[in-house]
Amino acid sequence: MNSIHPHCEVIAAYTLADANGNTLATSTKETPLRYIHGAGQMIAALETALSGHQAGDELNVTLTPEQAYGQHRSELVFEAVRENLPAGKELHVGMTLTPGGQQGKFSLKVVELTERGAILDGNHPLAGKTVTWQIKILAVNSPKTDRQVESQPIKWVNV
């Protein structure tokens, strides 16, 4: 039986809960957690905790904010004037904006509407929270030579 090691594919069922035990997210049979171990697709501390485990293993991994999604950073909450917000889009509290379109590397949540525009929050929604991952490893697949590891290529730009 394969244990989790760099470049293998890991498939797992999970439930993510906050410090009070409230469920924040859970996988389904159709949408399990699936990632390439060691490819930077997973939270580093969670990936470390999963290393060496095998299919069938179940574990609970509690991560502090620093290990998971970082501390809440007040400098990432700011007011954006209407001219700098998407034209022709009606904003409402709770909506998410992704600068750069769907390929954006970060999201901004609208937390308040103002006379001049909107207050946006660039923190991860779980920033500042301790979280617990309840994980059951469903499969550990060795890398196949005919399959490339999914990754984002470096894109060079002229400045």
Residue at 152 is within a domain: no
- The pLDDT tens digits of the residues spanning 84-103 come to 998 888 999 999 998 776 56
Alpha carbons 155 and 158: distance in angstroms, whole number: 10
Q: In this structure, what CATH number is given to the domain that contains residue 106? A: 2.40.10
pLDDT per residue over 11-60, tens digit each? Answer: 999 999 999 999 999 999 999 999 999 999 999 999 999 999 999 999 99
Instruction: Give the global pTM.
Output: 0.77
Please check whether residues 65 and 130 belong to one and the same domain. yes
CATH number, residue 42: 3.10.50.40
Closest CA to 27 of 126, 134, 141: 134
The dihedral of CA 64, 67, 69, 73: what is its sign? positive
Question: pLDDT tier at 144 (50, 70, 90 boundaries)?
Answer: low
Return the minimum-mean-pLDDT range out of 36-50, 66-80, 114-128, 139-153: 139-153
In a domain, 18, yes or no: yes
Look at residue 122 and tell me whether its pLDDT is greater than 60: yes
Q: Do 79 and 32 fall into the same domain? A: no
What is residue 156's predicted lDDT score, i.e. its pLDDT?
A: 53
Q: Residue 105: inside a domain, yes or no?
A: yes
Look up the domain containing 22 and give its range.
Answer: 9-69+126-141
pLDDT of residue 133: 97
Tell me, yes or no, whether 154 lies in a domain. Answer: no
Number of domains the chain is built from: 2
